[in-house]
A and B are shown apart, each in its own frame.
Chain A
Amino acid sequence: FGIHYGGLGKLVLFLDLDCRFDVLRLSQMLKHRLLQANRLGNGAWWQLEESNVRNFRAAHEKSNTAFDEELYVSCMKRFLYVRCYDSLELLSCLKTLDYRIRQQESCGSQVGVLMIDSIGAFHWTDRLSSLLALETQNRKSLSLTNVVETIVQEMKKLLQVHSLVVIATKATIYEEKYPTNENNRKFSSNDDLSGNVASKAQQPPFREFMPSSWQAFVTHKLITRKSADHQSLQTGQKSLSAYSLEWLQPQLSSIDQFIVDDSGIVIVS
């Protein structure tokens, strides 16, 4: 018997380009999820991954309302974080990422996902660089196109040798009628990609500002928007903001609604 926590036990590499990441929130969410798992009780023990199995005695010793401190710490340690304040720092980081991933692998840890928050953070700065760049023969200028091309290049190389998922967030930077946020996903070549040939001729609900090299690199796209406020009947709280989640790539017709509570995202419909 044990408690099924789910999860993969892999490392998360988080590139914070927005420089707004709050570890307190991550810690909160993780604690809530561990508590939830504890409360929901024992799962079918034969389905559990070895790394997530806590033996029966240990689980029983702790009270229902506590969570496993040791597990919490080991999970927090799997979250690796670095900040970049500009594109050059980002490029330096990407260039040395392969080496760092290999270092982690030699210690036995696998990297599961690389996250970038958010990919459009240096857009205006890089566009200004494009304006000011001196086009000398032979040398590549520090323009937006060149920077993004190099980012895509480095990530493609990483995906060729490591089995991981890349998730990037992208915020809107132009005034839109409906404020939106996007999430782009790329799968490594090891994953099964279903080729989606048919695409509906629909106008994108936002203004695309990333260069074509990035757009071609993206294989999956999600868009989140704020929708009408949602009354949470279970907790009796006053209305929580509700958001809609729509798959743009591959395009699905259904739109999910979710709210954000203490333990994170909860799909409501």
Chain B
Amino acid sequence: MIVVLSIFHNIPSLVGCRFVRLENPIIDASFRYFCASHGIVTVEDFLLHDVEVLAAFADRQTNSDRLKEGITVMLSLVERQCRPWLNGMELLEDLQRNKQNLSTGDRGTDSLLKGGFREGQVTELVGPSSSGKTQFCMQAAASVAEKHAGRVLYLDTGNSFSARRIAQFGSSSDTSLEQKVMSRISCHTVYDIYTMLETLQGLDVTLRSQVQTNVNEHRLRLLVVDSISSLITPILGGSGSQGRALMVAVGYMLKKLAHEHSIAILVTNHTVSAGGEGGKTKPALGETWKSIPHVRLMLSHDHKNSNSTISILKHTSMPSGQTMRITTRKDNR
């Protein structure tokens, strides 16, 4: 019970209690009393009720016209809170204007993905341990910081971030430029999912309040979470809904951040046994997680010949199954 309450405390938006101030003369005491008598106290209650049935009840009252006006005001309030509908052309325009493709730092991967990571999308990199996921993440961070002059936020869950290694991915030998590029990457260690949610919510608030002076200069373009599965796996135990609900909350927080702030998000996941014969593996985090990322990539590393291949498990606009060999850069230049 204590665990459940703490979940509630940490993610207020999950069980939304958005109280909206109603400064409208029609929403007066008698209207509120009428609503309360039908079990409607908040906007959420209003959403769960049948408006026509409520209007029918209002008809029976002496001040029925005024009450029905109140219902109309409530509906227009709900309407104002809705996002506007966009048509196909407007969606395309937003894509072309605001959501660019970011190079992953590896030419092979870029060509496989027809450009790279797309801003606005969540890309998941799945791979067994020591398959090179962290290397891939750091290479991506270096690439975005350098080639796209963007800021990178790197959330590290396993103390595997290495500034030295990132610097090696840089292509210039000019130390002052290298310093500038490195300064665009900030790394935070996150050890549990609650801290993760707080960090993401804080990020959302910061990004919303930032004044857009120079839109493209050093804005946050890439968010890396290495690895997201290590934060989620501990809470997924059992058949209860709490763990999965938290996982979905994180997933949607990521999708929202990606879309609304035009950020590319890269998360890593490990593999688990797929059962059956042949020692097959599948991505961890289960069935529900599959619907979260836009793009799912599988990284496999052959230790015998030091070859790495990356393949598309799922993509929103490309068929799955394509693979590409990627180069693994050695530690020393």
CB–CB B241/A24 < 8 A = no
CB–CB A96/B48 < 8 A = no
Question: Which of B49, B95, B252 contacts A23 (CB under 8 A)?
Answer: B95
Task: Provide the residues of chain B in CB contact with A78, threshold 8 Å.
Answer: 87-88
CB–CB A140/B287 < 8 A = no
- For residue B14, which residue of chain A has the nearest CB? A125
Q: Mark B198-237, 1 if CB is under 8 A from A, else 0.
A: 0000000000000000000000000000000000000000
Given the known interface contacts A26-B88, A78-B87, A80-B87, the answer about A91 and B47 at a Cβ–Cβ threshold of 8 Å is yes
Question: Which of A25, A124, A150 contacts B241 (CB under 8 A)?
Answer: A124
Question: Which of B44, B79, B291 contacts A171 (CB under 8 A)?
Answer: B291
Give the Cβ gap from A124 to chain B, nearest Cβ, in Å.
4
CB–CB A147/B87 < 8 A = no
B51 at the A interface (CB under 8 A): yes
Give the Cβ gap from B286 to chain A, nearest Cβ, in Å.
6
Give the Cβ gap from B14 to chain A, nearest Cβ, in Å.
6
Task: Provide the residues of chain A in CB contact with B249, threshold 8 Å.
Answer: 125
Q: Mark A118-140, 1 if CB is under 8 A from B, else 0.
A: 10011011011101100000111
CB–CB A142/B48 < 8 A = yes
- For residue B74, which residue of chain A has the nearest CB? A95
Given the known interface contacts A128-B14, A132-B8, the answer about A139 and B50 at a Cβ–Cβ threshold of 8 Å is no
CB–CB A131/B252 < 8 A = no
- For residue A83, which residue of chain B has the nearest CB? B83
Q: Mark B277-306, 1 if CB is under 8 A from A, else 0.
A: 000000000111011001000000000000
Given the known interface contacts A19-B252, A19-B259, the answer about A81 and B291 at a Cβ–Cβ threshold of 8 Å is no
CB–CB B319/A92 < 8 A = no
CB–CB B92/A23 < 8 A = yes
Task: Provide the residues of chain B in CB contact with A249, threshold 8 Å.
Answer: none
B26 at the A interface (CB under 8 A): no
Give the Cβ gap from A46 to chain B, nearest Cβ, in Å.
30
Question: Which of B83, B95, B286 contacts A175 (CB under 8 A)?
Answer: B286
Task: Provide the residues of chain A in CB contact with B92, threshold 8 Å.
Answer: 23-24, 27, 76
Docked pose: A83 CA to B81 CA in angstroms: 13
B112 at the A interface (CB under 8 A): no
CB–CB B48/A150 < 8 A = yes
Give the Cβ gap from B301 to chain A, nearest Cβ, in Å.
23
Task: Provide the residues of chain B in CB contact with A88, threshold 8 Å.
Answer: 16, 18, 44, 47
B65 at the A interface (CB under 8 A): no
Question: Which of B248, B259, B316, B319 contacts A124 (CB under 8 A)?
Answer: B248
Task: Provide the residues of chain B in CB contact with A127, threshold 8 Å.
Answer: 241, 245
Give the Cβ gap from A56 to chain B, nearest Cβ, in Å.
27
Given the known interface contacts A19-B252, A85-B252, the answer about A140 and B45 at a Cβ–Cβ threshold of 8 Å is yes
B82 at the A interface (CB under 8 A): yes
Give the Cβ gap from A90 to chain B, nearest Cβ, in Å.
9
Give the Cβ gap from A77 to chain B, nearest Cβ, in Å.
5
B41 at the A interface (CB under 8 A): yes
CB–CB B41/A23 < 8 A = no
Task: Provide the residues of chain B in CB contact with A139, threshold 8 Å.
Answer: 39-41, 45
What secondary structure prevails in chain B residues at the interface with A? helix
B86 at the A interface (CB under 8 A): yes
Task: Provide the residues of chain A in CB contact with B255, threshold 8 Å.
Answer: 19-20, 85
CB–CB B4/A82 < 8 A = no
CB–CB A20/B316 < 8 A = yes
Residue of A13, A83, A139, A147 with most chain B CB atoms under a 10 A cut-off: A139
Docked pose: A241 CA to B322 CA in angstroms: 11
CB–CB A172/B287 < 8 A = yes
A64-95 interface (Cβ within 8 A of B): 73, 75-83, 85-86, 88-89, 91-93, 95
Task: Provide the residues of chain A in CB contact with B288, threshold 8 Å.
Answer: 124, 173
B19 at the A interface (CB under 8 A): no
Give the Cβ gap from A167 to chain B, nearest Cβ, in Å.
17
CB–CB A241/B82 < 8 A = no
Docked pose: A86 CA to B249 CA in angstroms: 10
Task: Provide the residues of chain B in CB contact with A25, threshold 8 Å.
Answer: 316-317
CB–CB A86/B48 < 8 A = no
Given the known interface contacts A77-B87, A124-B244, A129-B15, the answer about A89 and B291 at a Cβ–Cβ threshold of 8 Å is no
Task: Provide the residues of chain A in CB contact with B316, threshold 8 Å.
Answer: 20-22, 24-25
Question: Which of A132, A240, A260 contacts B15 (CB under 8 A)?
Answer: A132
B78 at the A interface (CB under 8 A): yes
A135-183 interface (Cβ within 8 A of B): 138-140, 142, 146-147, 150, 153, 157, 171-176, 179
Give the Cβ gap from A235 to chain B, nearest Cβ, in Å.
12
B158 at the A interface (CB under 8 A): no
Given the known interface contacts A138-B39, A139-B39, the answer about A95 and B51 at a Cβ–Cβ threshold of 8 Å is yes
A–B Cβ pairs within 8 angstroms, 16 of them: A22-B294, A23-B88, A23-B91, A23-B95, A75-B88, A79-B88, A80-B85, A82-B85, A99-B75, A128-B242, A132-B8, A140-B39, A173-B287, A175-B286, A175-B287, A179-B287
Top 10 nearest A-B pairs (CB, nearest first) are: A76-B88, A22-B316, A128-B245, A79-B88, A25-B317, A23-B91, A138-B39, A127-B241, A91-B47, A124-B244
- Using A13-B85, A24-B95, A150-B48 as known contacts, list a sample of 5 further A-B pairs with CB atoms less than 8 Å apart, ordered by residue number in A: A20-B316, A77-B88, A81-B85, A157-B52, A173-B244
